[in-house]
Amino acid sequence: MSGTDQWEENQRELTRFFREHPEIAAALDAADDQSLNGADLACKSALYQDRGLAREAAELFQLAWSKCYPEEYIREFGAQLDFIAKELADCPGPVVDIASGRGMLVRALLKKTAAPITATDLSESVLRDHLGAILPEETARLSLTACDAKALPFGEGSLPAVTTCLGLQNIPGPEQAVRELRRVCGGTLYALCCFFPEDDAANQEAAAGLGLAGAYSQPELTGLLERCGWRVRCHTGKKFRLPPTPVGVVAPGAGFDALPVAETEAWFATMVCV
């Protein structure tokens, strides 16, 4: 594994922050969860994670996520998860999920498929903190592997099914990762993505500023996949309005998601690649 465990670094920064501002930790503790906005709930989730309360932290994060996005976003996101799970319902596995992060797609696959699943991420700690807290009866067919998506520890053509949930949109300079996916995947890649309009200069430029130029453009990401040897079809959902996620009130300045920076029209699409 190479690269920096950004999740672990962020957790260390949050630990330092809570120790320097015990009044904010106390206010988050005292607040009713339903009264907090999504950013404050995410901060409370991190506080619980710092205390070793992994399951409670994961539950708080799920509530935070549901408060940060509009109903249309949540509905369309869920529809894409259901689509991927249905596509893989009869797959014998293993299914390898790339850049699993907090594991939202992995959890859907565990619930709706019977295949063994490997969750991967550059960050060993995000896998441990979020997928290490799942129900014991699900762990029998789940394995966790910390690895760099640009240097995957799998043989050529060895994987019958690979998935990723917003993963390609969080890997700066993703071409090397896309070529690695082409190398190891002997079957189908399902890449769930969120896209903004081509003429949405504010958000496309903000993505580029994060090292993610073209990642939120459906034509550009499709072109990258095709240049790396994939044949691509898109399962595209309905469009919806997407405002920026909230900023903390109890924890002033706490954020949830860097994009979008301005309200926009957005949509989800699963890139089905063979």
pLDDT tens digits, residue range 120-167?
Answer: 999 888 888 778 766 555 677 899 999 999 999 999 999 999 999 999
Would you give the distance in Å from CA 114 to the centre of its chain?
22
pLDDT band at 82; cut points 50, 70, 90? very high
- Give the range among 48-57, 86-95, 160-169, 246-255 with minimum mean pLDDT: 48-57
Is 60 exceeded by the pLDDT of residue 171?
yes
CA distance 64 to 43: 9
> Of 271, 267, 247, which is closest to residue 257 (Cα–Cα)?
247
Q: Give the burial string for 64-92 (b: 16+ CB within 10 Å, else e).
A: bbebbbeebbeebbeebbebbbebbeebe
pLDDT of residue 86: 97
Mean pLDDT of 54-82: 94
φ, ψ for residue 124, nearest 5 deg: -65, -35
Q: What is the model's pLDDT at position 15?
A: 86
Q: Which residues pair with 142 in a beta bridge?
A: 117
- Average of per-residue pLDDT across 35-41: 97
Please give the single-letter amino acid code of residue 124. E
Alpha-carbon separation of residue 68 from 77, 91, 114 (angstroms): 13, 33, 31
pLDDT of residue 241: 98
Distance CA 251, CA 233 (A): 43
Per-residue confidence at 191, pLDDT binned at 50, 70, 90?
A: very high
What is the model's pTM?
0.93
- Which letter does DSSP use for residue 191 in this model? E
Q: Give the β-pairing of 240-242 and 159-165.
A: unpaired
Higher pLDDT, 74 or 133: 74
Average pLDDT, the chain: 93
Q: How far is 64 from 69, CA to CA, in rounded Å?
A: 9
Q: Are the C-beta atoms of residues 144 and 131 closer than 8 Å to each other?
A: yes
Distance (Å, whole) CA 106 – CA 111: 9
Could you report the per-residue pLDDT of 212-244, keeping only the tens digit for each?
A: 999 999 999 999 999 999 999 999 999 999 999
Closest among 183, 188, 213, 193 to 201, alpha carbons compared: 213
pLDDT confidence of residue 132: 72
Residue 165 pairs with which residues in a beta bridge?
192
pLDDT score for 199: 97
pLDDT at 134: 62
Residue 73 pLDDT > 50: yes
The per-residue pLDDT for 1 is: 45
Point out the least confidently predicted range of 8-12, 19-23, 218-222: 8-12
Residue 88 binned pLDDT confidence (cut-offs 50, 70, 90) = very high
Tell whether the model's pLDDT for residue 57 goes beyond 70.
Answer: yes
**pLDDT at position 58, please?**
84
Which secondary-structure segment (H or E) carries 264? strand 264-273
Up-side HSE of residue 112: CA atoms within 13 Å toward CB? 16
